[in-house]
Amino acid sequence: MIKTIICEGLEIEYPIFQGGMAWIANAELAAAVSNAGGLGIIAGMNSNAEQLKAEIRKTKEMTSKPFGVNVMLMSPFADEVARTVIEEGVKVLTTGAGSPSKYMPTWLAAGIKIIPVVPSTAIARKMERDGAFAVVAEGGESGGHVGELTTMALVPQVCDVVNIPVIAAGGIADGRGVAAAFSLGAVGVQLGTRFITAKECNVHRNYKDRVLNARDIDTVLTGKRLGHPVRSLKNRFTRNYLEKEYDSSISNEELEKLGLGVLRRAAIEGDIVEGCVIAGQIASMVKKEQTCREIIVELFEEAEKVMRGNLQWVK
Ligand code: TUI
């Protein structure tokens, strides 16, 4: 059994979070992960206040276990999402794609545990000063909006500069990745891509199949020119976007427009050719469709074996 300080702190059985994936992480997925003993997280990114409220209420009906909400700070709805989570009594928040500092005093006053995703040591330090309960150190192997550093480089450096718990994210698909994260000093892991093919995940069938068929070199970064690189699976959308990204006659505004609605297009409509199919670099390691419980139990059984196995080298 693998238990860490984050299990006690959040009253969860396994030290694992499910990433708050935009257009994918809904009530069904979050409740399934929480019921399996992890921390399920609802994506706040694609919701306005009303939609998020409905999703939170649905999750509460489906689980009595702790769950969280991810506040995507670049979302046009960030302010209303930030208010809604307080009104709905959400107890744990993760944040992404920016600094949540301006919201933190009111969230803390409401007794919410705040766990920002951080791409660097400077931001991790700031989050600790601002009252974060823990941080998720997310390496660039992740799908979606990513920072500069890899998980291998980022996690130990973040662990060295903060005294709050560190959760590792990015490039983790199986028990080996979980064990590696613990070796780097993390006390928990966050996985996104592995949960895309979960039986309880309602993302479009085409999206699941694209992840199941992915190869190791299939992901690419788009949007570097705009300052928010996003990792997704190569397709006509990424080829077209990259062509325009390196064309100086195309304005930033035109480039921004190309990215509008593409996450929904892939995840909800199933257009995996013209939509943005977000997935991490480990997509090719995701080969099975399992329940969230099967995924979590398997991950930690494997991790335990790897951690015990490593002792063979210790003389
Ligand atoms: O946020 C993510 N992953 C995401 S968000 C997303 S939706 C999106 N769509 C278009 C453009 C951009 C995003 C898809 N995937 N992961 C967490 C994450 N947070 N990665 C990097 C960061 C981050 C970056 C800068 C966190 C803090 C930060 O602070 C900068 C500052 O303002 O201090």
List where CATH 3.20.20.70 sits in the chain: 5-201+288-313
Q: Measure 147 CA to ligand 1 centroid, in angstroms.
A: 8
Using the predicted structure, report yes or no on whether residue 47 has a pLDDT greater than 90. no
The pLDDT of residue 239 is: 98
Which residues on adjacent β-strands are paired with residue 67?
40
Give residue 257's pLDDT band: very low, low, confident or very high (50, 70, 90).
very high
Give the CATH fold of the 5-201+288-313 domain.
TIM Barrel (3.20.20)
* Rounded mean pLDDT, 38-67: 95
C-beta 139 within 6 A of ligand 1: no
Beta bridge partner(s), residue 144: 231
130 lines ligand 1 (CB under 6 A): no
**Measuring CA to CA, which residue among 198, 184, 193, 194 is closest to residue 277?**
193
pLDDT at 84: 97
Partner residues linked to 115 by β-bridges: 94
Ligand 1 proximity of 141 Cβ (cutoff 6 Å)? no
pLDDT of residue 45: 79
Q: What is the DSSP letter of 11?
A: T
* Residue having the nearest C-alpha atom to atom 5 of ligand 1: 145
| Ligand 1 centroid from CA 96, angstroms | 5
Torsion from C-alpha of 67, 13, 3, 304, nearest 10 degrees: -110
Distance (Å) from CA 42 to ligand 1 centroid:
16
pLDDT tens readout for residues 185-206: 999 999 999 999 999 999 999 9
Helix (H, G, I), strand (E, B) or coil at 312: helix
Q: At what angle do helices 27-35 and 292-310 cross, to 10 degrees?
A: 50
Q: How far is the CA of 312 from the centre of ligand 1 (A)?
A: 40
Which residue CA neighbors atom 29 of ligand 1 most closely? 98
Q: Is-above-0.85 flag for pTM?
A: yes
